[in-house]
Structure formats: structure tokens, C-alpha cells
């Protein structure tokens, strides 16, 4: 027992002595680092770049600052002659903000986390929904109903626990944009609407950050880098917002899941190139991807416009102007992606889905016209509804007349005329159709408010929504 006690005492003494030596060495390192910083700050050759990180050297004692674990984890990057230690070190020191954890943001975030970007910020205020999962591959079924940011952050952390993930569970608005964005070196626009794209662009101009912009819809994608190396900004290219009717959304027009996946991967690639100062980022050029014909085209864009209202020669777009700018008004579109709710008709030309159901049950003589496009009608439809898409309504009016006549003949005994109801997916196109029908003399036409979505919500919960 005595000898064991002596051993323990000896080990403890040795530990104490080593700790003292360690403290001494750390003090010497700090002093030398301070000297080195002094030299760098006086020397012009270092003034345009960031100071080489010295403190992390103590992890491994290697000049590049990568720990043995990092060397092993990122070995395939380090083996690339054109990327190597330099590229990886830069990546580890960089910070990238991804705005939108959806179809584009999902793959971008997965790659950025995996490749060792030092700090990744994620902005989103949505929750994960089942109909996101076909393309938003960072999320899993277990996270349905939960915050996309939490879900994405958890996925990133499970891939790489050595990097910092910052959660911004809020909508990106002029009120918080400058504060959030100023903490990052590079910005990835992975949003899905026009006002956000202008807002993110302008914020990047105010703060001088490169912007990796991607978009995808249907079977096509687009990618470019704005505000970098003398290239144009989004406003140089598109000084005037497009008309709202030209802005399609994935929730209306559909998107093949892999298409934003490809564009999101390319966004990660461009951000990695900028962060590690490797290669030629896609500035002043735009990549156009057409999935259906398997074609990628890279086109040359105009340079920075001297006339640009935010980045041009005479532009004086400040943080204050940015905060006061009304992007929804400017683009005539909402920042949130909630579906449009038109109100075109007087209340007596409208009927709720419940009321329609009552009339249906009572056997009222009527016809129901479904004005959705034919491929929507194929997904699901109400029995006995006639599909006449809004775009062909004008040409197919005679069909409505004859269907009404037929219905009236059937119900001749009751003596009443047949009613005409119009339905669509959400209750917007049905109002447009009723407006047109009224004009064409079908004065009894009424629309079913809220469309098939309200039918599913209020009448038949087993009726599929999409």
C-alpha cells in the first residue's frame, strides 16, 4: 500500500511540474504571437488579407494549424494540389450564411458542413412539411412540424460536430438582415421569392459581401455570383422587378426535386471557391441548367452597371435606406410564401364548400366546373365535376351551356333552372372564371370559396391535398 501511495504522490508531483511547464510555454507562445502580429500589421504584404491564425497551431504544433483529426477528416481535400492545406485552412476560418433551408439550402448546407466551413448560419422561419421532403433532403420525417432551422442544424451537426452552426429561427427582414448578415463572409441566397432576392442583394451591397445566388423551378435552374470581383449585382441585371404574374412558385408550378438539389450543390461549390480563394467563381457569368434536355449553358453577363441604384457610381445606398426600403411594395409580392388570396367577387356570387355540400346532398340541379389545368385534375377531383381549364374556358363555353341544359331537362319537374358552380385548387382561378362567365351571360355562376383545399378542410378530410 505504501509503495502505491508513493507512486500516486510521484505522479501528482510530475503532473504539477508538467502543468507549470505548460503554462510557461503557453505564456511564451502568447508573447511570440503578439510579436508576430506586430510584424504582420506593419508589413504591407499581409495587410490585404486576414492574419494567419496562430492560436490554433498549439493544437497540433503544425504550421498550418490543422489538428491530426482535421488532417484525417479532410485528407481528400488536402490531397488536391490546387486546394490543399491552404484551401482547407481558409475554409475552416470562413463563415457562410445560408438564407433558406429548403430545396436549394438543403444540399448546400450538407456540403458546407461536411467540408469544414468554420461557421455556418442558417436562416428560415418555416416548419418542415411532408410535401417538402421530396427535394429538401436535409430534413427527415421525424422533423415534420418542427423548425427547418433546427432540423437542418441537427443534420449539419451530425455530419460534422467540429464546426459552429448558428441557428437564426426568424424571417429575414430589413429589420434584422444587416445584423445577421454582417457576421458572415459569404452569403448564399436559397430563398424562393422575388422581394427576398432584392432584399438580400441590397443587404450584400451595403455590407460588401459576395452573394451566391441560385434558383430552381420546374425543370430548370439558374446560378450566379453577385457583387464579387467587379461583377454585377442582382439589380444591375434586373433594375425593375418582373410583373407578379411572371413569378411562378414551386408550390404552384411544381419542381423536380433533384433540380434545386443540383443548383444547391453548385451554390455550395461557388461559396467554397470564394471562401478558399480557389478557382474562378461564377461572377459576371450565369449558369443556366435545363434538366429535360440535359443541357448546361454558361453565359457572359454585363459588368457592374454604373447606373445601378444600389451599387452604381452615384448610388449612395446606406444601411438606413436599406432598413426603410419596402421590398414587398417594390416587387408587389409578399415576402412570405403564403398563397395568394384573391377577393374578386361580391359575396352573393360565392358559396362556401360546406354550403355547396348541403346543396349537393339535397340533390339541387347543378353542374360543377373545375377550372384547374388538366394535369391537376388528374391528381384528384370531385365526382361529377367537369374539367374545363381556365385557359380554355373561352373556347369551351358551349360545353357549359349544353351541360346546363341537360341538367335542367333532368330536373324539369321541379321547374327550377340548374345552378353553375366553379371550383379550383385554392379559390383564385375559380373567381377569375366566374368573373368571365358573368361577363359572358352566365349570371348564375358562383365560385366555391377556398376551392378543393377548403373542401378537404371543411367537408371531407380524406380528400387529398397537394
Partner 1 sequence: MQLTLEFGGGLELLCNSVKVHNVTVDPQDGEEKLTMKKLLSWVRTNLIKERPEMFMKGDSVRPGVLVLVNDCDWELSGQLDTILEEKDVIVFISTLHGG
Please tell me whether residue 242 binds partner 1 under the rule CB under 8 A: yes
Please tell me whether residue 389 binds partner 1 under the rule CB under 8 A: no
Among 249, 323, 396, 438, binds partner 1 (CB under 8 A): 249
Return d(Cα 333, Cα 392) in angstroms, integer: 27
Return d(Cα 64, Cα 90) in angstroms, integer: 10
Site for partner 1 in 182-201 (CB under 8 A): 190-194, 197
Catalytic residues: 250, 424
| Backbone φ, ψ for residue 166 (5° rounding) | -110, 125
Of 157 and 249, nearer to partner 1 (C-beta) is 249
Is 233 part of any known ligand binding site? yes
- Of the candidates 101, 98, 190, the one whose C-alpha atom is nearest the C-alpha of residue 137 is 101
Q: State in angstroms the smallest separation of the CB of 253 from partner 1.
A: 8
Of 115 and 236, nearer to partner 1 (C-beta) is 236
What SS3 state is found at 256?
coil
Is 387 part of any known ligand binding site? no
Please tell me whether residue 144 binds partner 1 under the rule CB under 8 A: no
* Site track 390-409 with partner 1 (rule: CB under 8 A), x = hit: --------------------
Return d(Cα 176, Cα 38) in angstroms, integer: 36
Is 148 part of any known ligand binding site? yes
Q: Is 417 left (phi over 0), alpha (psi -120 to 50) or beta?
A: beta
Is 115 part of any known ligand binding site? no
Please tell me whether residue 281 binds partner 1 under the rule CB under 8 A: no
Please tell me whether residue 247 binds partner 1 under the rule CB under 8 A: yes
> Nearest 10 degrees: CA dihedral of 103, 106, 109, 115?
-110
Among 42, 76, 297, 439, binds partner 1 (CB under 8 A): 297
Please tell me whether residue 329 binds partner 1 under the rule CB under 8 A: no
Is 308 part of any known ligand binding site? yes
Please tell me whether residue 208 binds partner 1 under the rule CB under 8 A: no
As a whole number of Å, the CA-based R_g of the chain is: 30
- Of the candidates 91, 84, 139, 83, the one whose C-alpha atom is nearest the C-alpha of residue 114 is 91
Other CB atoms within 10 Å distance of the CB of residue 348: 7
* Site track 18-57 with partner 1 (rule: CB under 8 A), x = hit: ----------------------------------------
The 3-state DSSP composition of the chain as helix, strand, coil percent (nearest 5) reads: 45, 15, 40
Is 357 part of any known ligand binding site? no
- Of the candidates 419, 441, 408, 426, the one whose C-alpha atom is nearest the C-alpha of residue 348 is 419
Residue recorded with cell 434538366: 291
Is 131 part of any known ligand binding site? yes
Q: Of 89-97, 147-155, 159-167, 290-298, which segment contacts partner 1 by CB under 8 A? A: 290-298
Please tell me whether residue 301 binds partner 1 under the rule CB under 8 A: yes
Residues forming the site for partner 1 (CB under 8 A): 100, 102-105, 190-194, 197, 214-218, 220-222, 237-243, 245-250, 253, 255, 260, 263, 286, 288, 290, 293, 297-302
Amino acid at each position: 500500500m505504501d509503495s502505491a501511495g508513493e507512486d500516486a504522490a510521484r505522479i501528482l508531483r510530475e503532473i504539477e511540474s508538467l502543468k507549470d511547464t505548460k503554462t510557461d510555454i503557453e505564456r511564451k507562445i502568447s508573447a511570440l504571437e503578439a510579436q508576430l502580429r506586430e510584424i504582420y500589421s506593419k508589413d504591407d504584404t499581409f495587410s490585404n488579407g486576414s492574419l494567419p491564425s496562430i492560436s490554433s497551431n498549439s493544437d497540433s504544433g503544425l504550421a498550418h494549424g490543422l489538428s491530426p483529426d482535421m488532417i484525417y477528416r479532410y485528407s481528400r481535400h488536402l490531397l488536391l494540389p490546387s486546394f490543399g492545406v491552404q484551401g482547407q485552412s481558409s475554409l475552416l476560418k470562413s463563415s457562410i450564411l445560408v438564407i433558406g433551408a429548403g430545396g436549394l439550402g438543403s444540399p448546400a448546407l450538407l456540403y458546407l458542413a461536411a467540408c469544414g466551413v468554420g461557421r455556418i448560419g442558417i436562416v428560415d422561419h418555416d416548419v418542415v412539411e411532408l410535401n417538402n421532403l421530396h427535394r429538401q433532403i436535409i430534413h427527415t420525417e421525424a422533423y415534420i412540424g418542427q423548425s427547418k432551422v433546427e432540423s437542418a442544424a441537427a443534420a449539419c451537426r451530425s455530419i460534422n460536430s467540429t464546426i459552429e452552426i448558428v441557428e437564426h429561427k426568424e424571417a429575414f427582414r430589413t429589420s434584422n438582415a444587416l445584423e445577421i448578415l454582417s457576421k458572415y463572409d459569404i452569403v448564399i441566397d436559397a430563398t424562393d421569392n422575388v422581394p427576398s432576392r432584392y432584399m438580400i442583394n441590397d443587404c450584400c451591397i451595403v455590407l460588401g459581401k459576395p452573394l451566391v445566388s441560385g434558383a430552381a423551378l420546374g425543370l430548370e435552374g439558374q446560378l450566379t455570383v453577385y457583387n464579387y470581383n467587379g461583377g454585377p449585382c442582382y439589380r444591375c441585371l434586373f433594375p425593375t422587378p418582373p410583373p407578379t404574374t411572371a413569378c411562378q412558385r414551386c408550390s404552384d408550378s411544381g419542381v423536380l426535386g433533384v433540380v434545386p438539389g443540383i443548383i444547391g450543390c453548385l451554390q455550395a461549390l461557388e461559396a467554397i471557391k470564394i471562401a478558399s480563394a480557389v478557382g474562378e467563381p461564377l461572377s459576371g457569368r450565369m449558369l443556366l441548367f435545363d434538366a429535360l434536355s440535359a443541357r448546361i449553358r454558361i453565359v457572359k453577363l454585363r459588368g457592374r452597371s454604373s447606373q445601378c441604384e444600389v451599387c452604381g457610381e452615384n448610388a449612395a445606398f446606406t444601411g438606413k435606406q436599406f432598413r426603410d426600403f419596402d421590398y414587398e411594395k417594390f416587387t408587389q409580392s409578399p415576402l412570405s410564401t403564403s398563397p395568394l388570396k384573391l377577393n374578386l367577387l361580391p359575396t352573393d356570387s360565392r358559396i362556401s364548400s360546406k354550403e355547396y355540400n348541403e346543396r349537393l346532398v339535397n340533390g339541387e340541379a347543378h353542374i360543377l366546373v373545375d377550372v384547374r389545368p388538366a394535369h391537376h385534375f388528374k391528381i384528384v377531383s370531385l365526382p361529377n365535376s367537369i374539367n374545363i381549364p381556365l385557359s380554355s374556358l373561352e373556347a369551351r363555353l358551349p360545353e357549359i351551356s349544353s351541360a346546363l341544359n341537360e341538367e335542367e331537362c333532368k330536373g324539369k319537374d321541379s321547374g327550377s333552372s340548374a345552378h353553375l358552380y366553379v371550383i379550383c385548387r385554392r379559390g383564385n382561378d375559380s373567381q377569375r372564371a366566374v368573373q368571365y362567365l358573368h361577363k359572358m351571360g352566365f349570371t348564375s355562376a358562383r365560385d366555391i370559396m377556398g376551392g378543393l383545399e377548403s373542401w378537404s378542410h371543411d367537408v371531407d378530410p380524406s380528400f387529398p391535398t397537394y
